[in-house]
Amino acid sequence: MLRLYGQELRSRLLLGTARYPSPAALEDAVRSSATEIVTVSLRRETAGGRQGGAFFELIRSLGVHVLPNTAGCHSVSEAVLTAKMAREVFGTNWIKLEVIGHHDTLQPDVFGLVEAARILCAEGFEVFPYTTDDLVVGERLVEAGCKVLMPWCAPIGSAMGPQNIPALRAMRAEFADMPLIVDAGIGRPSHATTVMELGFDAVLLNTAVAGAAKPALMAAAFAGAIDAGRDAFKAGMLEPRDFAVPSTPVIGKAVFA
């Protein structure tokens, strides 16, 4: 079982709710993935509250945990206020904390991230920080009170998959007892398997499912891939070597010449 801020979960897939072709496609993907956590955002309401209300009802009907985010926030004050407003709406202390530092890569502003995490943890939030794979930043986030870290493996929405496996491996080793969730950059189920094989605890993704030709089928594919990677990690994998090793025993081999 995965445990995040005291909440026990069977699924190791966290799913975003954006960019689906329809609300029905989102609902189908959530159900076929068996995810127990979906991420949502807050935006300016333009239709007197009714547009957000319809989405809110859909999310509530799914019966999953809601992880609100501060997506699009570029400053500490913006992220902190958005988190407080999200707590007001969703009635949860969970917050996926994003403080974006670069327009093109959507790389986290790790300095602002640590500052915002410190403020929010002190106010009782349970922070899921979207961060880089930098060990020192991870340590600062832990000092700030975070009990989960969510390093990217590639830029948001890029579908590039893990770009720096040694760095992810180092994070796993450094934060041995901390739940680590790869957030952002996953494009294919095999990418999710790879990070799970490294010992990561879960994967958060959105576009790879929402942008697939058949989102529900892709969601199921990711669920299977994540379980396969997890099982492989637990089973213990062989290390690669430079030369062949015969898999069939040589002793008892017939001699024909």
Partner 1 sequence: MKLTVNGEDHDLAVATLAELLAALDFEGDWLATAVNGELVHRADRSTHSLNDRDRIEILSPMKGG
- Among 69, 131, 193, 194, contact with partner 1 (rule: CB under 8 A): 69
- Among 3, 24, 53, 173, contact with partner 1 (rule: CB under 8 A): 53
234 catalytically annotated:
no
- Distances in Å between the alpha carbon of 228 and those of 10, 138, 168? 14, 27, 19
Residue 232: exposure state from Cβ atoms within 10 A (0-12, 13-18, ≥19): middle
Strand 126-131 relative to strand 150-151, pairing: parallel
- Among 9, 25, 59, 202, contact with partner 1 (rule: CB under 8 A): 59
Residue closer to partner 1 by CB (options 38, 220) is: 38
* Site residues (CB under 8 A) for partner 1, limited to 204-243: 205-207, 210
* Site residues (CB under 8 A) for partner 1, limited to 149-168: 156-157
Q: Which amino acid is at 134?
A: D
Residue closer to partner 1 by CB (options 175, 207) is: 207
Residue 166: exposure state from Cβ atoms within 10 A (0-12, 13-18, ≥19): exposed
Number of Cβ within 10 Å of residue 108's Cβ equals: 26
* Site residues (CB under 8 A) for partner 1, limited to 94-153: none
Residue 234: exposure state from Cβ atoms within 10 A (0-12, 13-18, ≥19): exposed
21 lies in the site for partner 1, by CB under 8 A = no
Residue closer to partner 1 by CB (options 123, 231) is: 123
Q: Which amino acid is at 10?
A: R
86 lies in the site for partner 1, by CB under 8 A = yes
Number of residues this chain uses to bind partner 1 (CB under 8 A):
41
Residue closer to partner 1 by CB (options 116, 140) is: 116
**Candidates 96, 214, 234, 253; catalytic one:** 96
CA 250 – CA 243 distance, rounded (Å):
17
Residue closer to partner 1 by CB (options 199, 211) is: 211
User: H/E element holding 120?
Assistant: helix 110-122
Binding site for partner 1 (CB under 8 A): 16-20, 26, 39-46, 48-53, 55-56, 59, 68-69, 71, 77, 81-82, 84-86, 88-90, 156-157, 205-207, 210
Q: Which residues are designated catalytic? A: 96
